[in-house]
């Protein structure tokens, strides 16, 4: 008999809850306040800087050692304590490299006087891009920052650095413009040698920054937006860390 009364009371409570609460929920749905509140509760993390992870661990710059445009041996240790940008390019590239290096020259002009900033450019056609060729290329593009090294060396090691070390695609493709194909992305490295990236509004890292679209252009023919303005802001953030 006791259980019977218990069931009756539970049923009455559920009925009262339904009469009072459900109409309010329906009104909120109709007015759109449920959706609005849900949006307000989703944190927009865009603009924050995250670590790029590999198998759950912070991804560091791989070790490297190559010859620069001044015939000096440059390694990853030369960038210790610096915020720097990494790119893969080649001097005879007829497509995206001129845009990429125009963007990097703008970045150089903004941060080049800061001793804690640098740029590392690796040639994917090292047999052609000798130190002499790289030096002429640097002069042609207005590359003046002493911490901007254009590097050449063993092709297999450079390709391994690009594809396995940074996961930035580079390959010899005979049908591609210039005979080689590579990603137009930039990697951003913090003072401790970790690859960093801003995150999107869902908290996911963008990982790399589009280097082949200028700020002036805004978007390319594929509808992709420029990320140079974001890269500049993120360099500034890392310099202040």
Whole-number percent of the chain with pLDDT over 70: 77
Cα of 34 vs its chain's centroid, Å: 34
Other CB atoms within a 10 A radius of the CB of residue 189 amount to 24
Confidence label for 36 from pLDDT (cuts 50, 70 and 90) = very low
Over 50: is that where the pLDDT of 40 sits? Answer: no
Q: What is the pLDDT of residue 111?
A: 98
Of 1 and 136, which is predicted with more confidence? Answer: 136
| Average pLDDT over every residue of 129-153 | 98
**CA distances (Å), 198 to each of 80, 120, 131, 182, 222, in order?**
21, 20, 34, 22, 22
Delimit the domains of the chain by residue range: 1-32, 50-240
Other CB atoms within a 10 A radius of the CB of residue 1 amount to 5
Q: What is the pLDDT of residue 47?
A: 60
CA R_g for the chain: 26
Nearest of 161, 159, 165, 150 to residue 67 by alpha carbon: 150
Mean pLDDT estimate for the chain: 84
Whole-number percent of the chain with pLDDT over 90: 70
Enumerate the known binding-site residues: 93, 97, 182
pLDDT tens sequence across 91-125: 999 999 999 999 999 999 999 999 999 999 999 99
Over 70: is that where the pLDDT of 30 sits? Answer: no
pLDDT tens sequence across 177-226: 667 677 899 999 999 999 999 998 888 889 999 999 999 999 999 999 99
Nearest of 118, 180, 120 to residue 151 by alpha carbon: 120
Other CB atoms within a 10 A radius of the CB of residue 103 amount to 26
In the chain, how long is the greatest CA-to-CA distance? 99
Enumerate the known binding-site residues for Cu cation: 93, 97, 182
Confidence label for 16 from pLDDT (cuts 50, 70 and 90) = very low
Q: What is the pLDDT of residue 180?
A: 67
Q: What is the pLDDT of residue 10?
A: 42
Classify domain 50-240 at the CATH superfamily level.
Glutaredoxin (3.40.30.10)
Over 80: is that where the pLDDT of 88 sits? Answer: yes
pLDDT tens sequence across 144-171: 999 999 999 999 999 999 999 999 988 8
């Amino acid at each position: 008999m006791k259980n019977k009364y218990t069931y009756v009371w539970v049923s009455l409570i559920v009925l009262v809850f339904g009469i009072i609460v459900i109409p309010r929920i329906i009104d909120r749905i109709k007015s759109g306040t449920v959706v609005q509140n849900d949006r307000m509760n989703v944190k927009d993390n865009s603009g924050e800087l995250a670590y790029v992870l590999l198998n759950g661990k912070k991804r560091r710059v791989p070790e490297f050692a190559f010859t620069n445009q001044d015939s000096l041996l440059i390694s990853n240790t030369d960038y210790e304590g610096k915020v720097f940008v990494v790119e893969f390019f080649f001097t005879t590239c007829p497509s995206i490299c001129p845009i990429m290096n125009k963007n990097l020259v703008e970045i150089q002009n903004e941060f080049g006087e800061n001793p804690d900033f640098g740029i590392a450019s690796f040639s994917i056609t090292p047999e052609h891009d000798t130190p002499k060729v790289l030096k002429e290329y640097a002069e042609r593009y207005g590359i003046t920052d002493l911490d901007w090294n254009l590097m050449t060396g063993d092709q297999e090691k450079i390709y391994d650095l690009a594809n396995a070390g940074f996961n930035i695609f580079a390959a010899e493709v005979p049908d591609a413009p210039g005979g080689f194909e590579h990603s137009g992305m930039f990697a951003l490295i913090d003072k401790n040698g970790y690859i960093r990236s801003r995150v999107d509004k869902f908290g996911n890292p963008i990982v790399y920054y589009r280097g082949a679209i200028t700020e002036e252009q805004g978007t390319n023919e594929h509808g992709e937006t420029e990320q140079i303005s974001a890269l500049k802001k993120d360099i500034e953030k890392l310099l202040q860390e």
